[in-house]
Amino acid sequence: MATPITQILPVLPTIDEHHVDRRRYPDGVAFMDGQYLPMSQAKISVLDWGFLHSDATYDTVHVWNAKFFRLDLHLDRFFGGIERLRLKLPYDRKKIASILNNCVALSSHRSAYVEMICTRGSSPTFSRDPRQAENRFMAFAVPFGSVANKEQLERGLHIAISDTVRIPPKSIDPSIKNYHWLDLVKGLFEAYDAGAETALVVDTNGYIAEGPGFNVFFVKDGSLWTPAFGVLPGITRRTVFDLCTEIGLSATAGDISRADIKAADEVFITSTAGGIMPVTRIDHAAIANGRVGPVTRRLMDLYWQKHDDPEWSTAVIYA
């Protein structure tokens, strides 16, 4: 018997938009220049190359029920991006993990969206030589947010496939998290114009790539497929592979055409911001019967159960 969707979905924090002080929202704590600050006081220079040139890398981990989920994997990816972009951090891995913990603890959030960032910074002489820039590290913790809201999680998202081409991996290594989002934003506006809620963009060969902050999977005849080329190897994407290994499902990364995904039995997207989220409509047609499918439900259930597994989670120290 299928688990009711209301039992699978976590209770997401809600925001009363009528009582939000937009000058201070979101409520949280940032770490910058060696000190902890309210989010409203966290600023960067307009001369920072992270702002001027998108010359930065970052990673985002979430906290759920006072526990980081797969923190080590997020730190691995962050430090890998630092090395490949030739950035320098003023702190080692243990210290950064401590800073992330402190941002959450000081904010008092039990469920949070936690980001670590390293920018190229700026040159004291306004040089255009990146070797002369003084790199900057910063981090913050704000309330947990999801790509999909509660209603969308229950009924499934409506996605439009954009003709916008994702930045090719020969230009920007997609395994390094970055802020080059203009292609994704363009795809989003095209999706909105088409009456959809979010978008998928394509790779340089016309195959499905990814969406704004998420990877995508589809299920066909009990097997899972996800794009392989030009996409961020997301931590939640990897988690789906790990879960499939545990429960004996086949999951393959490869080229996926528009026809493939539209003919799927089930479709879902994955992101640190929301986990595993169902898709029930692509462009102008429903996926299968237009309802959240059993494989998606099962993986959603397992995904949230893993947040209590000590091998997958790290407790926040609030003392």
Domain residue ranges of the chain, discontinuous segments joined by +: 5-143, 150-307
Show Cβ contacts of residue 218 under 8 Å, excluding neighbours closer than 6 positions: 224, 225, 226, 256, 260, 261, 264, 265, 266, 267, 268
Give pLDDT, residue 258: 98
Helix (H, G, I), strand (E, B) or coil at 159: strand
The closest alpha carbon to 253, from 281, 225, 220, belongs to: 225
Instruction: Please state, in angstroms and rounded to a whole number, the distance separating the CA atoms of residues 285 and 209.
Output: 20
Among the listed ranges 3-12, 191-200, 209-218, 252-261, which one has the minimum average pLDDT value?
3-12
Q: 134-143 and 29-32: which strand pairing?
A: antiparallel
Q: How much is the average pLDDT of 125-143? A: 95
133 with 122: CB under 8 angstroms?
A: yes
87 with 120: CB under 8 angstroms?
A: yes
Give pLDDT, residue 13: 55
Looking at the chain, the whole-number percentage of residues with pLDDT higher than 70 is 92
- For the chain, the average pLDDT equals 93
Sign of CA dihedral 219, 224, 229, 232: positive
Instruction: Please state, in angstroms and rounded to a whole number, the distance separating the CA atoms of residues 65 and 67.
Output: 6
Topology, domain 5-143: D-amino Acid Aminotransferase; Chain A, domain 1 (3.30.470)
Give pLDDT, residue 218: 98
Give pLDDT, residue 157: 98
**Helices (runs of H) and strands (runs of E) counted in the chain:** 9, 15
Give pLDDT, residue 17: 47
Give pLDDT, residue 213: 96
214 with 271: CB under 8 angstroms?
A: yes
Q: How much is the average pLDDT of 39-62? A: 96
The architecture CATH gives domain 150-307:
Alpha-Beta Barrel (3.20)
- Say if residue 14's pLDDT is above 80: no
Instruction: Please state, in angstroms and rounded to a whole number, the distance separating the CA atoms of residues 280 and 23.
Output: 36
- Say if residue 21's pLDDT is above 80: no
Specify which residues 64 forms β-bridges with. Answer: 67
Give pLDDT, residue 319: 80
Instruction: Please state, in angstroms and rounded to a whole number, the distance separating the CA atoms of residues 199 and 216.
Output: 11
Show Cβ contacts of residue 15 under 8 Å, excluding neighbours closer than 6 positions: 143
